[in-house]
Structure 1
Amino acid sequence: MWRRYRQELGPEHDFEDPLGPPLLWPDGRHVAANGRGRIFLWDLATGACSRVLQSSAICRDGDPSFRLACEPVLGRVLEAHKLRDFAVWDSVEWRRIQTFAGHGEPVQAATFVTDDRILSISGDSTAQLWDAWTGERLRMLDTPPLYALAKKPASGHVAVCGSGGAVIVLDGPTLDVRASFHLPMVAARHGPLSEERKRQVGIVWNRPSNTLQALAWHPDGEHLICGAWDFVPRMFHSGTGRVVREWHGHSHWVDAVAVEPSRGLLVTGSSDGTVRVWSLHSTECLAVHDVGHANVEGLLLHDGAIYVTCQGELLVIPLPAE
């Protein structure tokens, strides 16, 4: 059975914030998503929106573009700051620890690569490395415009991706390039986009492109999986870019990917209004969930469920039974 978690803004608000991708909060008891200068926390046990935190983010065009990230050992959270910067917050006291200024466009994502270093990416065509405590910029790397990153588990490597099919694998603590390549655009095989979804998507409903918008590491640590605006998520080698698997079926941009390694599942979210569950080891589609709107912002897999932000809602969808 699906569950729907609503925002709690108080009686003075008669509208809901659009939400960014969901995040498991450092305390492990809440799931969070950022809105317009706010972060909403839902209790995993009850589904109640138990806390609303004020942030310093300013959202261009009203929608949050920064993907929340955390470092659970010290309970630190990364969130956008003003329009083009980002900040580290203490998740318990909700106190801003440090801010980071230097990007020329809004920061899309950031991650702790060590306890004291942070890597950030932006559409300004740079990746930047920072001292987590002082806010000093340590290094800047020229890149294509970047929109997603994925930190390799138990490793200092971070993969980033963006426009033109660009993928770069970096040594996170130094920003040294380990691999760099461009994935070719794919001719997608899919059914027609419904008239309602065309209306929701707008004038870009028939415009595939070679932009990579989402990224995750395969459990083998050698391959990556991307979500792309050519409608086709695919798996490729992190050192060579050789594509080894494609999952066809989405009829618009794939903006979110997540991997469930213990069960060998891939979950993808698309502006065609669906969340799809696939076998990680084949091209089989195991489930298709229509979430009711094209605005699918992100996915989180936790405790046998898919947490999906769509419009102003957090939806909880059970994974297929084993």
Structure 2
Amino acid sequence: GHTNYVKSVCWNRDGGRVLSGSEDGTARVWDDTTTWQQINVLAEHTDSVYVIAISPNGRILASASWDKTARLWNLENGQPVASPLQHAHFGNCVSFSIDGMLLRIMTYSEDGSLRIWNLNSGEQIGSEWRDGERGVNAIALSPDGKQVVSGNDDGEVKLWDIDTGKIITKWTGHTHHVKSVCWNRDGGRVLSGSNDGTVRLWDVERGETILINVLTGHTDSVYDIAISPNGRILASASFDNTAQLWNLEDGHPI
């Protein structure tokens, strides 16, 4: 189906559909029941689709592209929702949050800007967040929806207050770009993967810049990380052509 590299994939809520975003400028919906049949092609972007994400209610797909826009799609009919969300530079990542009755989407760009949008109106909420000009590569919302962590080209992991747009703290230690970030289940820990080949575990609960552990073993960049549903195991994927499982209690490979 895709005619170029696939950059991002995700599941819908019930696991019956897989969605993919590609450098061919499209996002595609696939049947994951038995046939892997292509159900829909979402084609409005004019450049590579870098990342995709599904809203918490499972009805809307967000796609961020190198055409400097993020687009919202109705997954029932494959049609665009609202106007494109504009960035001055290409969007690296998107993430959804729910705040009462307001559904918001967050977009982050390689120019270092972070923006929040009202999903119902497509309008930007407040001014953009920014801390320097270095690019943002990854974001993750805390389980309670009150904070967001970002991984950045300057090697820092930054914790933001979602209501004020202010930085709460910065974690330093990585020696190269931070490519992926995630939270543990209770929101007390943040994990980050970097081009320096390490995964680092940080303490959030104490509100200080405390490094808990460094997971070493990869010989090239760590570009994606994910925590198991039970919160005990971390998976890391690397450009060294391996994926590694880690015990988060002691930091040892499994």
Maintained 8 Å contact 2:118/2:124:
yes
How does 1:187-266 map onto structure 2 within 5 Å? 210-262=134-186, 264-266=188-190
Deviation at 1:153, TM superposition (A): 5.4
Residue 216 of structure 2: aligned partner: 290
Alignment map for 1:160-199 (pairs within 5 Å):
160-185=107-132
Alpha-carbon distance, 1:122 to partner:
1.0
Distance 1:117 1:226 in 2: 23
Counterpart of 1:120, as a letter, is: S
- CA-atom RMSD, angstroms? 2.2
Change (3 A) 1:172 1:133: same
User: Relative contact order (C-alpha < 8 Å, sep 6+): which is higher?
Assistant: 1
1:231 alignment partner, SS class? coil
Q: 1:159 to 1:175 in 2, by over 3 A?
A: same
Counterpart secondary structure, 2:125? strand
* Residues 73-152 of structure 1: pairs in structure 2 closer than 5 A: 73=14, 75-81=16-22, 83-93=24-34, 94-113=36-55, 114-138=57-81, 139-144=83-88, 145-152=90-97
Q: Deviations over 1:153-192 (max 9, x none)?
A: 576222110122111112335433224323223xxxxxxx
Task: State the identity as a percent.
Answer: 21
Structure 2: unaligned runs, 5 residues or longer: none
Name the TM-score, length of structure 2 as normaliser. Answer: 0.86
* Alignment pair present for 1:309 and 2:237: yes
Moved over 3 A (4+): none
Distance in 1 between residues matched to 2:108 and 2:149, nearest whole Å: 11
> Cα deviation per residue 1:91-110 (whole Å; 9 max; x = unaligned)?
22222111111112211122
Q: Does 1:320 align with 2:249?
A: yes
Give the drift of 1:263. Answer: 6.3
Letter of the structure 1 residue corresponding to residue 214 of structure 2: V
Query: Cα deviation per residue 1:270-302 (whole Å; 9 max; x = unaligned)?
Result: 001100011122321111112323321201011
Which structure 2 residues correspond to residues 29-44 of structure 1 after superposition, within 5 A?
Answer: none
Q: CA offsets, 1:38-85, max 9 Å, x none?
A: xxxxxxxxxxxxxxxxx63511xxxx4x22222122522211256111
Alignment correspondent of 1:58: 4
Q: Report the 3-state secondary structure (helix = DSSP H, G, I; strand = E; otherwise coil) of the residue aligned with 1:288.
A: strand
Range with bigger deviation, 274-283 or 225-234: 274-283
More helix by share: 1
Indicate how the Cα distance of structure 1 residues 136 and 220 shifts in structure 2: closer, same or farther if over 3 A, else same.
closer
Q: Can you list the C-alpha shifts for 1:211-243, whole angstroms capped at 9, x where unaligned? A: 000001123422211000011011112233211
